[in-house]
Amino acid sequence: MSPFAVFCRPVCPLACALVLSLAAGAASAAGTTADSPSKPVAPATAKTPAQPNAGDAKPAPPTHDPGIVVERIRAALAERSEQDKLRVLVGDQPLATHPHADQPATPPKPKPRTRPKAQATATSEPHWAYSGAHGPAHWGRLKPAYGACASGQRQSPIQIDTRQTLQGPAEPLQLAYGSSGGSVVHTGHTIQVDVAGPHTLTVRGSSFHLQQLRFHHPAEIRIDDKTHAMALHLLHRNEQGQMAMLVVPLEAGDAHPEIDKIWTHMPLEVKDRVPLPNGLMNLRALLPTDPRYFQFMGSLSEPPCTEGVLWLVLKQPVTISPEQLRLFAQLFPMNARPLQAANGRVVREGM
């Protein structure tokens, strides 16, 4: 095997090109170029080599010998073992860079990562609040689906003026409430209880199933000039998707044991949910003993402000302790929508 093959096998082809270039230069120096025809060489005859004198210097090996060229390149590569790369130049431009076979290539340094900017998505719900730039005055512009909050003509809550109510007999509310469990949710706007079990309110010939309890501070409905400290809203829905809202006014007084059960399981973080043991709440105990109520057509009192909701506002409040009131107010200092125009709506007052 030739010295070139010995060298080219472990080294990359670019290094072989360098060897050939050096060999070609050596051959040119020896007078073997294409421009100068080579002289005939006499046949070699046996000749006894001259014995060098003891004081003569050892002659240097010829530089055009390819084997010596290979050895010199090997020595040069060994001296550069501490370097990472062998760079081959063609003229003054780098042709390629190759790492040494015995050293791994240094991985490129990672580029610093930048945090992407938050972008609103088409499916994300716009934020709404009870004050500020996203407060009730701006709800209708936050999202097309919230348009009724600004343009609706039967919006809630309203002020009930007992001097103008339609007084007379009203059908009794048929309430089939019992013990229930469920879960307590911090929605970011109120404390909500998702009720478990079949509990119904029957009125106007339709049965509405109880779905949620929601608390507001202060009460949203004003009766004459009185606004209660808080209110409990019980949201119902029938099989046709129609909604009925039963409202229980809350005022400061004695502690309410059922409210205490809910407060005991009250979550402290937004979107957190705490389960209620089955049968813990007595829903019937949340209602006053006086069944009389005000009745009018209104809407949800928060976005999307859907209209066509039957409002049933009980006349008699139930009590909660100042401590129970203060605990809720610490989380929700104010979560009541301002009063909306009645726009000629009739309010029935059961006598």
What mean pLDDT do residues 59-74 have?
A: 60
Strands (E), 112-190: 159-160, 166-168, 174-176, 179-186
**Which pLDDT band, with edges at 50, 70 and 90, does 74 fall under?**
confident
- Topology, domain 132-350: Carbonic Anhydrase II (3.10.200)
User: What does pLDDT average to over the chain?
Assistant: 80
pLDDT score recorded for residue 244: 98
CA distance linking residue 252 with residue 207, whole number of Å: 32
Lowest mean pLDDT, pick from 15-24, 36-45, 276-285: 36-45
Residue 191 φ then ψ, to 5°: -95, 125
pLDDT score recorded for residue 92: 45
What percent of the chain is modeled with pLDDT above 70?
65
Q: Kindly report the pTM of this predicted structure.
A: 0.66
Q: What is the DSSP string of 55-110?
A: TSPPPPPPTT-HHHHHHHHHHHHHHTTTSSEEEEEETTEEEEEEE-TTSPPPPPPP
How many CA atoms, within 13 angstroms, populate the side-chain half-sphere of residue 307? 12
Give per-residue pLDDT as tens, 220-272.
999 999 999 999 999 999 999 999 999 999 999 999 999 999 999 999 999 99
Catalytic residue of the set 134, 189, 199, 209: 189
Residue 100 pLDDT > 60, yes or no? Answer: no
What mean pLDDT do residues 300-309 have?
A: 98
CA distance linking residue 140 with residue 151, whole number of Å: 8
**Which pLDDT band, with edges at 50, 70 and 90, does 65 fall under?**
low
Residue 314 pLDDT > 60, yes or no? Answer: yes
CA distance linking residue 102 with residue 301, whole number of Å: 75
CA distance linking residue 350 with residue 170, whole number of Å: 5
Residue 177 pLDDT > 90, yes or no? Answer: yes
pLDDT score recorded for residue 90: 40
Q: What angle do CA 261, 265, 266 make, to 5 degrees?
A: 110
**Which pLDDT band, with edges at 50, 70 and 90, does 110 fall under?**
low
How many CA atoms, within 13 angstroms, populate the side-chain half-sphere of residue 30? 14
Q: Quick one: which of 103, 278, 260, 78 has its CA closest to 178?
A: 278
Residue 275 pLDDT > 60, yes or no? Answer: yes
**Which pLDDT band, with edges at 50, 70 and 90, does 29 fall under?**
very low
pLDDT score recorded for residue 71: 73
Q: What is the DSSP string of 260-305?
A: HHHHHT---STT-EEEEEEEEEEGGGGS-S---EEEEEEE-SSTT-
Q: Give helix 13-29 / helix 66-79 axis angle, nearest 10°.
A: 130
pLDDT score recorded for residue 186: 97
Residues of each domain in the chain carrying CATH 3.10.200.10: 132-350
Tell me whether residue 228 is one of the annotated catalytic residues: no
